[in-house]
């Protein structure tokens, strides 16, 4: 199993969505169904693109207009030939949060 995938699958890791300039810009990405997040605790950071699974996301605590609250995002991708689901919780005021990977195949 790939070392990076294993590391990001071991509990909550710091991440951010600071590629987006604002909560409103993040909202637009969510509406398009594709969000970039960056795991910051890896050497140089690891930016991943999540194809969102809308039924696994929770936006009920988010106020994008006021940039308050949090969003729960989940989406799939392939990282280093391993199919995974990325999970993240992002604070809209700072665009910082935590997340982890769920390995979908061995």
pLDDT digits (tens, 9 = 90+) for 55-84: 999 999 999 999 999 999 999 999 999 999
pTM here is: 0.94
Residue 102 pLDDT greater than 90, yes or no:
yes
The C-alpha angle with vertex 27 and arms to 22 and 30, in degrees rounded to 5, equals 130
- With a CB cutoff of 8 Å and minimum separation 6, the contacts of 106 are 1
Q: What is the mean pLDDT of the chain?
A: 97
Sign of CA dihedral 80, 94, 43, 13: negative
Q: How confident is the model at residue 48 (pLDDT cuts 50, 70, 90)?
A: very high
Q: Where are the domains of the chain?
A: 3-103
Q: How confident is the model at residue 1 (pLDDT cuts 50, 70, 90)?
A: confident
pLDDT at 106: 57
Class of domain 3-103: mainly beta
Strands (E), 43-103: 46-52, 62-63, 68-79, 82-91, 96-103
Distance CA 102, CA 73 (A): 13
């Amino acid at each position: 199993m790939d070392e990076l995938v294993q590391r990001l699958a071991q509990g909550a890791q710091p991440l951010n969505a600071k590629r987006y300039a604002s909560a409103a810009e993040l909202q637009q990405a969510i509406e398009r169904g594709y969000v970039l997040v960056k795991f910051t605790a890896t050497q140089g950071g690891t930016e991943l693109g999540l194809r969102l699974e809308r039924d696994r996301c929770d936006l009920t605590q988010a106020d994008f207009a006021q940039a308050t609250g949090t969003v729960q995002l989940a989406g799939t991708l392939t990282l280093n030939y391993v199919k995974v689901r990325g999970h993240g919780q992002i604070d809209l005021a700072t665009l910082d949060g935590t997340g982890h990977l769920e390995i979908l195949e061995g």
